[in-house]
Structure 1
Amino acid sequence: MTTASFTTPAWFRADLVAGMQRGIEKEGLRMQPDGHFAKTFHPAKLGSKLTHPYITTDYSENLLELITEPKDTIKDALDMLRQLHVLVHRGLENGEMMWPLSMPCMLSDSDEDIPLADYGTSNVGRLKTLYRSGLGVRYGRKMQTIAGLHYNLSIGDDLFAAWAKAENRSDFANFKNEKYLGLIRNFKRLTPLVLYLLGASPSVCGCFLTGRTHSLVPLIEGDCKTLHQPYSTSLRMGKLGYTNSVQEDLDIRYNDLNEYIKGLRRAIGTPFADFTAIGVDDENGNPVQINDHILQIENEFYSPIRPKQVTKAGETPTEALEKRGIAYVEFRAIDLDPYSDIGITTATACFLEVLALYCLLSDSPDLLPQEDKLLAANTEIVVNHGRKNDTTITTLQGEKPLGAWIVEKLDEMQAIADAFDEHHGGNEYRTALSAMQGKATNPNFTLSAQIEADSRRLGGTWKLGQLLAKKHQSELLTHAISNEDAARFQDLAVQSFADQQKLEREDSESFYDYVQQYR
């Protein structure tokens, strides 16, 4: 099968996609009925946010995070994500809803009003809160209220086995790591395409930018409640969003797994003057950040995609990768789709899987600092001006019009979409790719353009968010959950509190001594 300049390998068969598994992590702020962020504690009906396997919080007490199990089909993953949303909406109190956009709803001007997630009195729980305190003193708490969606994808061993056999490779574990890293490098190269097609944060509430220098302008003349960047796609992924200038020169590379691990560990072990100046403890001796290093822990490293391995008790992410290699990849550059009640549609999920396999099977030379700088510049261009007709990006082959470049890449993905549909039956993957091709040729079809247009029509993005939040909540509350599932989730919530209490009882080390390991 050949499309444009991409050819699927001779060994590749459609049935090799059967082993693919996917899981979703979806964040969302709890909001009050008036559109302001909620200041209440995590609802007790939802269980312990420290130990519940599926319902927790991210940065702040009001930033929910819903996590599905790995699933064999997109339908199963989205069904579980919807089930978790139903449970959350049944557990919300005081008329609260889930804000449907990535950029936050109305916030207070003061950072201190954004409550850090409280995970209880165990050392592991207090460390999670301390890590969030550190993010707050380093970058400000408002940045941490941005929500996103992570799409986690593992490729079946059948596919890797057929590939390894074709290349006469016997070192299977190393082979898998190499191929996953090739996928990651190509995804980084295609991040501008992802932001253009799936970006859904072209505007933001003015309160998010209080005290910050920016170039955004009012969406509606004379009204500073909603600010935007004309033609922008994903402010979340730009310099005003979830980014970190401190990390721009880290030079963490994805060409070799050991090199990646060493790069991360170097950043975790290296003090940074600005963070040293903050101090690790306050004047009363209470910790305010885990340490004064470039990264407190691995999770502080911001990247549009990460190699992942399931961690065992007491293991860090890099230890898990070092011992057992890459198990799956985490796509992180995905804005919430506010028009979906669960933040993602089947079409988007289908497209991400086509993209993943395209990145995996395409040639993927080493990604070196010169190209990385180009990619960072391209990302910022697409973040701010992606929908402008004359936007160009710079590749190693020279300057290219953004739209034509995206069309070229999507055309090359056709054979992959065909293979998915051949295996699964139906037409969902081809339909998803076709929709993306429509967006590539007409910027007005993009999510970011739709949000901008609806925000103008309704009088602001926060009004659009409020309208969609109410709509999604009323729809989700009509969904039924079987008695069996309801009982299972109830038991999980009860058990999660027991698990948290057990952790708190069993701690024998003082928190001060516990934190010293990370210093």
Structure 2
Amino acid sequence: MSQPEAISQSILPNWVDSALFKGMLRGIERESLRMQSNGFLSQQNHPEALGSALTHPHITTDYSEALMEFITPPQASIPEALNYLKDIHAVAHRHLENGEKLWPLSMPCMLDEEEENIRLADYGTSNIGRFKTLYRHGLGVRYGRRMQTISGVHYNVSFPEELFEALQQHETDEQLKALSLQDYRSHRYFGLIRNFIRLTPLVMFLLGASPSVCRCFMTGRDHHLLPLVGGTLHLPYATALRMGRFGYQNSAQKELGIHYNNLPDYLEGLQQAVHTPYSAFTRLGLNDKNGEPIQINDHVLQIENEYYSLVRPKQVPEAGETPSQALANRGVAYVELRAVDVNPYDPIGVDEDTAGFLEVLALYCLLKYSPELFDKELEIIEKNQTEVVNRGRAPNASIIENKKSIHIEKWAAQHLADMAPLAQMLNQSYATQLYSQALSTMQSRIDEVDNTLSAQVIQDTLSNNGTWGFGSVMAQKHAEAYEQHQLSPETKRYFDALAISSLEKQQQLEQESTQSFDDYLAAFR
């Protein structure tokens, strides 16, 4: 199938110079469960040799003690970001104990019947550490611990200030021209966010890699999944079950009415959710029968980070700031693209093609016209997402756009055709062919649905007799890749020093926590 003509006029303004994109930055956050050699979730503590999960900037834990999170700092190019992530994986692998490995799939390895055996992340005895653990306990009582064992990739992107200056100079709307650069930057990033939400079905179709799940994940839940092979459930044409109703879903949050039409309204909606009690959570109680706290509060959101969104506006908080305060004070600095499954075929869960595609998509979303997004359109987007999650590879799968039903492959190919000039521009910026190659790879998945990651996962799950068989084979391959990855002496020294200094920082925080945790929590509540 040849690429169709672009359906809209080029969204790349003719005055744009490739030098404007040279200052882009990207960072990656990748989650991965530690699994025992028998395939079950690890019950061991976070390896002390890696440092403190509370204070280490690159190697921490997410929900569970066994759910590792690897974080790169912002990097000047995709190869640099991926190489940094490879270094982190190699360091972490060297310190795993008792034959543990990193689980390569978004949906979890084997979980036993007892939810309590999914250990909450432990951050020590400081008040901030205990607070972080309590937040996770609250998530468990609200939504169950199994949901929190899902892994993903978060891709962070920022564009150079010079680009926003140039875009603002070429605006024809006098009100936009009159904004401060900080407010204009936030305005453009919110346009990006709205368009990314509209295009999440494209991300799920092209990057979705969770079409099946270990039966243990569904313990105690009603579902419509079908048996695939021993111990594995699936839907025949699914792409990303992680992003569907068995993944990160929160019925309370659907009632929030948080919109991404401008920064003040977004922050107001978020703050309202953080301060509004929710009856279902009130019934759970704040403390157990022994008086021990079980959730931070009974509000729709315990804290801001509980808001599950496909994409987030971000600003780096300074000391004492909440994420919202940082955004209010300094505007949006970058966006976090969160609708990305772990690629089980890559040792670090994300490859050049995924990174290149996401950056072209982010630029496309930034430059493309982005009208305000309200509930009526959001309902249609949600239907599109559900269609792609559950049956995106079906021969008759379709997307609703402008009140018309469009075959998903045609819809996806049209958007990729519109992105092609942007990929060429980024190629020029970085003297590479990476971006066009990424779109070419994505086009091959549109042309032949069996080339999608989700189709490959089904095939390999079948040939390895189930999720555990496939996951264990890939985990072993990835372990060999980590062992072969050469760490420079400087990198080794850097991570060794970080491990020590992070443990010292945690110890210092614990010594400085003179206020009782009850008083600390009461002050927050």
Does the TM-score normalized on the shorter chain lie above 0.5? Answer: yes
TM-score bracket, normalised by the shorter chain, equals: over 0.9
| Cα displacement string for residues 471-501 of structure 1 (whole angstroms, at most 9, x for unaligned residues) | 1001211222122211111111000011001
CA distance in 2, matches of 1:107, 1:396: 43
Q: Pick one of 377, 390, 393 that aligns with 1:387.
A: 393
Name the counterpart of 1:10: 14
**Structure 2 counterpart of 1:156:** 160
Shift of 1:3: 4.2
Report the Cα distance in structure 2 between the residues aligned to 1:37 and 1:468, rounded to whole angstroms.
16
**Residue 490 of structure 1: aligned partner:** 496
User: Residue 37 of structure 1 corresponds to which residue in structure 2?
Assistant: 41
Partner residue in 2 for 1:267: 273
**Contact 1:11–1:162 (Cα < 8 Å) also in 2:** no
Q: Which piece of structure 1 moves more, 163-172 or 65-74?
A: 163-172
Query: Does the CA contact (< 8 Å) of 2:6 and 2:414 recur in 1?
Result: no
One-letter amino acid of the counterpart of residue 59, structure 2: I
Alpha-carbon contact 2:6-2:415 (below 8 Å) kept: no
Letter matched to residue 283 of structure 2 = A
Q: 1:123-134, aligned counterparts within 5 Å? A: 123-134=127-138
Q: Residue 175 of structure 1 aligns with which residue?
A: 184
What is the rounded CA distance, in whole Å, between the counterparts of 1:204 and 1:436 in structure 2?
A: 24
Q: Report matched runs for 1:101-500 at 5 Å.
A: 101-167=105-171, 169-170=177-178, 171-220=180-229, 223=230, 225-500=231-506
2:374 partner amino acid: L
**Where has structure 1 moved over 4 Å in runs of 4 or more?**
none
Contact 1:28/1:147 (8 A) holds in 2? yes
What secondary structure, in the 3-state scheme, does the structure 2 residue paired with 1:302 have? coil
CA offset at residue 83 of structure 1? 0.1
Counterpart contact for 1:11–1:166, Cα < 8 Å: no
Contact 1:180 1:326 in 2 (8 A): yes
1:11 Cα offset (Å): 2.8
Name the aligned partner's letter for residue 314 of structure 1.
G
Letter in structure 1 aligned against 2:167: W
Is 1:501 aligned to residue 501 of structure 2?
A: no
RMSD: 1.1
Q: Distance in 1 between matches of 2:480 and 2:256?
A: 46
Shift of 1:4: 3.6
CA deviations over 1:381-423 (Å, ceiling 9, x no partner): 1100000010112223422211111111111000000101112
> In structure 2, the residue corresponding to 1:517 is in which secondary structure?
helix
Whichever residue aligns with residue 309 of structure 1, its letter is Q
- Residue in structure 2 matched with residue 86 of structure 1 by the alignment: 90
Look up the equivalent residue of 2:299 and give its one-letter code.
H
In the aligned structure 1, how far is the partner of 2:321 from the partner of 2:249?
A: 26
Deviations 1:239-292 (A, max 9, x none): 011121221121100001000000001111110111000001111111100000
Unaligned runs of 5+ in 1: none
Residues 141-161 of structure 1 deviation map (CA, whole Å, 9 limit, x = unaligned):
000000000000011111111
Q: Distance in 1 between matches of 2:72 and 2:332?
A: 19
Distance 1:245 1:462 in 2: 30
User: Distance between the aligned counterparts of 1:484 and 1:435, measured in 2?
Assistant: 35
Gaps (5+ residues) in structure 2? none
**How far has the Cα of 1:508 moved from its partner?**
2.6
Q: What letter corresponds to residue 460 of structure 1 in structure 2?
A: G
Partner of 2:30: 26
Q: Which residue of 2 aligns with 1:60?
A: 64
Match of 2:484, SS state, is: coil
Counterpart amino acid of residue 402 in structure 1? I
Q: Distance in 2 between matches of 1:472 and 1:138?
A: 34
- Taking the aligned partners of 1:133 and 1:116, their CA distance within structure 2 comes to 7
Alpha-carbon distance in structure 2 between the residues aligned to 1:6 and 1:349: 25
Query: Percent same amino acid at aligned positions?
Result: 51
TM-superposed deviation, 1:341? 0.4
Letter in 1 for 2:377: E
Say if 1:3 and 1:415, in contact at 8 Å, map to a contact too.
no
* Residue type of the alignment partner of 2:138: G
User: Aligned in 2, Cα 1:518/1:375: closer, same or farther, shift over 3 Å?
Assistant: farther
Alpha-carbon separation, structure 1, partners of 2:9 and 2:120 = 47
**Alpha-carbon separation, structure 2, partners of 1:498 and 1:72:** 31
Look up the SS of the partner of 2:157 in the other structure: strand
Asked if the contact 1:6/1:362 (under 8 Å) is kept, the reply is no
CA distance in 2, matches of 1:406, 1:4: 11
TM-score, with normalisation over the residues of structure 2? 0.97
Alignment-derived partner of residue 99 in structure 1: 103
CA–CA distance in structure 1, aligned partners of residues 370 and 523 of structure 2 = 38
Q: Is the 8 A contact 2:190 2:262 kept in 1?
A: yes
Residues in 1 aligned to 2:521 and 2:270: alpha-carbon distance in whole angstroms: 19
Q: Structure 1 CA distance, aligned partners of 2:432 and 2:86?
A: 23
Kept in 2: contact 1:20–1:72 (CA 8 A): yes
What do residues 453-479 of structure 1 show as CA deviations (whole Å, max 9, x unaligned)? 011111112211100000100121122
Report SS of the residue matched to 1:85: helix
Alpha-carbon deviations, 1:277-325, whole Å to 9, x = none? 0001111111100000000001100111000000112211111111110
In structure 2, distance between residues paired with 1:443 and 1:75? 28
How does the TM-score come out when normalised to structure 1?
0.98
Question: Which whole-Å CA distance do the structure 2 matches of 1:489 and 1:11 have between them?
Answer: 44
Distance 2:432 2:265 in 1: 42
Secondary structure in 1 aligned to 2:60? strand
